[in-house]
């Protein structure tokens, strides 16, 4: 190195800086498949909810799933509400008790780390963080296909006061007082007391804990009473809205609450009550020395059928890669749970659409049909999980690897398509003996680096570039 002229050294430094800058400061386009529009929709002393939405892009197949992140402090309650969207909850950390009305019955389930649970659109539910010293973290898909089209999703709070506002507050006070069979002043009291937001602490013994007491009582009621209490609120709601123009929507929501089919008058009953499914305990569908992957579809967890959403979980060891593949039937959303890596996505015309570094908490999406791959960083394992827009078995098509399309189609026609001899194609295709999850390409990371450097020095003369190649 000592003999390299100093001008050259300066250029080397410049080139390396450029490479670093490109790696860090990727342009807008390079991050177009990250859901960066993260909006906080709830924030209280006892917890918060954030939602990652797609930003407006060129692509018409906009994501129709939002990804929600709910954090609840120990001993807190997300007060009863229903949404105009289907929810699939995934417990990232902690323990929860979730109550929801199903076929006129209150179903309560305890959820733990890794559990998946579906809450249908229009179904009233509440969430309690039961663990004493532990924060609860939930990641959920918010599937908007049933939504009433007001931008993002809508929450309808059953309980509430001045913040959040209960939907009951929208009716005439006398109507509610008749419906609940209590005095109007009692109605006023229950509809104005709540001020601490949708997530409240149940342990708070001071100041404005009156509603905390109310909700604690609510949770301590016996099952039957609790369901009566929720139903009374909702039944009243039904009577009132039959007069309204919006009836179909309201009816739909209510039908969903009471388990009737949306169309027709017949009631279809399923013998299966809602249950949860643990993603972490599931045996991997694929596993080798470099990582593992698990998928969850409607054949394993039947509630997914009604949502049209599937789930997956992938673990890659440091440096490993999920081989380039595409989803023929689904759009995919991913959330990084641990570690960091790169997501590369390719346009239909064969140009790189995104090559972005992602870290814990980042959300990305991959349009149906688009080829992509995920590469773990060299520093450690890369774990991500997510949702797909198909509850059926999503059979990804692998483009590279021993089970790939290249492998099964390597005939004369394919060789001709690449313009190489069959023998040559065979040698190339057979070079990779692993499938699906591929070992650390010292190759791949090195190549990325080299490409960046050569791009960075691309603006200099070719001779210079060759000089650099000698150095690197």
Least distance in Å: CB of 59 to ligand NAG? 9
Comparing CB distances to ligand NAG, the nearer of 2 and 350 is 350
Comparing CB distances to ligand NAG, the nearer of 331 and 377 is 331
Least distance in Å: CB of 78 to ligand NAG? 29
Least distance in Å: CB of 350 to ligand NAG? 8
Q: Mind giving me the DSSP string for 349-398?
A: TSSEEEEEEE-TT-EEEE-TT--EEEEE-TTS-EEEEEEES-SS---PEE
Q: Any idea of the CA torsion for 372, 378, 382, 387, to the nearest 10 degrees?
A: -10
Comparing CB distances to ligand NAG, the nearer of 181 and 207 is 181
Comparing CB distances to ligand NAG, the nearer of 280 and 347 is 347
Give dist(CA 304, CA 310) in Å, integer. 7
Q: Which residues form the interface with ligand NAG (CB under 6 A)? A: 181, 347, 349, 351
Evaluate whether 160 touches 196 at the Cβ level (below 8 Å).
no
Comparing CB distances to ligand NAG, the nearer of 351 and 461 is 351
- Greatest Cα pair distance, the chain, in angstroms, is 93
Least distance in Å: CB of 351 to ligand NAG? 4
Least distance in Å: CB of 37 to ligand NAG? 21
Backbone angles phi, psi at 250, to 5 degrees: -60, -40
Contacts of 159 (CB under 8 A, 6+ apart): 79, 80, 81, 166, 194, 211, 215, 218
Least distance in Å: CB of 228 to ligand NAG? 11
Comparing CB distances to ligand NAG, the nearer of 27 and 133 is 27
Least distance in Å: CB of 206 to ligand NAG? 33
Least distance in Å: CB of 226 to ligand NAG? 17
Q: Phi-psi region for residue 458, left (φ > 0), alpha (ψ -120 to 50) or beta?
A: alpha
| Residues facing 140 on adjacent strands | 68, 89
- Closest alpha carbon to 108 in 121, 125, 91: 125
Tokens standing for residue 407: 């492998």
Give dist(CA 356, CA 375) in Å, integer. 10
What is residue 278's three-state secondary structure?
strand
Least distance in Å: CB of 347 to ligand NAG? 4
Least distance in Å: CB of 88 to ligand NAG? 31
Comparing CB distances to ligand NAG, the nearer of 33 and 312 is 33
Evaluate whether 318 touches 376 at the Cβ level (below 8 Å).
yes
Comparing CB distances to ligand NAG, the nearer of 165 and 178 is 178
Q: 273: which DSSP letter? A: P
Comparing CB distances to ligand NAG, the nearer of 351 and 433 is 351
Tokens standing for residue 416: 């001709």
Comparing CB distances to ligand NAG, the nearer of 226 and 317 is 226
Tokens standing for residue 373: 């791959």
| Residues facing 91 on adjacent strands | 138
- Closest alpha carbon to 93 in 108, 68, 71, 77: 71
Q: Give helix then strand counts, H and E, for the chain.
A: 12, 25
H/E segment holding residue 340: none
């Amino acid at each position: 190195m000592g003999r390299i002229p100093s001008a050259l050294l300066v250029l080397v430094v410049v080139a390396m800086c450029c490479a670093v800058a490109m790696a860090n400061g990727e342009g807008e386009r390079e991050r177009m498949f990250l859901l960066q529009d993260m909006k906080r929709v709830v924030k209280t002393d006892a917890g918060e909810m954030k939602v990652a939405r797609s930003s407006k892009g060129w692509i018409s197949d906009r994501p129709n799933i939002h990804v929600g992140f709910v954090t609840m402090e120990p001993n807190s309650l997300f007060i009863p509400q229903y949404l105009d969207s289907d929810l699939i909850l995934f417990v990232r950390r902690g323990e929860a008790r979730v109550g929801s009305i199903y076929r006129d019955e209150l179903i309560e389930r305890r959820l733990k780390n890794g559990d998946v649970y579906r809450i249908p659109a229009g179904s009233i539910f509440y969430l309690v963080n039961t663990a004493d010293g532990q924060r609860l973290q939930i990641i959920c898909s918010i599937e908007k296909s049933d939504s009433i089209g007001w931008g993002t999703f809508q929450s309808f709070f059953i309980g509430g006061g001045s913040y959040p506002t209960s939907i009951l507050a929208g009716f005439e006070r006398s109507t509610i007082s008749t419906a609940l069979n209590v005095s109007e002043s009692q109605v006023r009291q229950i509809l104005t007391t709540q001020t601490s937001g949708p997530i409240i602490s149940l342990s708070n013994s001071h100041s404005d804990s009156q509603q905390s007491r109310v909700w604690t009582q609510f949770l301590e009621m016996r099952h039957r009473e609790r369901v009566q209490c929720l139903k009374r609120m909702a039944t009243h709601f039904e009577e009132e809205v039959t007069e309204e123009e919006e009836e179909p929507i309201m009816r739909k929501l209510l039908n969903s609450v009471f388990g009737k089919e949306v169309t027709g008058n017949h009631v279809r009953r399923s013998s299966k009550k809602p249950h949860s499914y643990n993603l972490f305990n599931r045996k991997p569908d694929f596993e080798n020395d470099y990582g593992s992957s698990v998928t969850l579809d409607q054949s394993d967890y039947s509630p997914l059928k009604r949502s049209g959403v599937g789930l997956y979980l992938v673990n890659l060891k440091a440096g490993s890669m999920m081989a380039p593949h595409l989803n023929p039937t689904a759009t995919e959303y991913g959330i990084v749970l641990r570690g960091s890596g790169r997501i590369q996505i390719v346009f239909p015309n064969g140009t790189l659409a995104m090559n972005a570094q992602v870290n814990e908490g980042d959300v990305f999406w991959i349009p149906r049909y688009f080829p992509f791959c995920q590469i773990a960083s060299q520093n450690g394992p890369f774990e991500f999980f997510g949702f797909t827009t198909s509850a059926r078995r999503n059979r990804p098509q692998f483009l590279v690897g021993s089970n790939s399309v290249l492998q099964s189609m390597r005939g004369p026609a394919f060789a001709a398509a690449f313009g190489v001899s069959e023998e040559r194609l065979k040698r190339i295709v057979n070079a990779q003996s692993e499938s699906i999850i591929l070992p650390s390409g010292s190759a791949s990371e090195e190549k990325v680096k080299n490409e960046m450097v050569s791009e960075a020095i691309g603006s200099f003369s070719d001779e210079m570039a060759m000089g650099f190649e000698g150095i690197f």
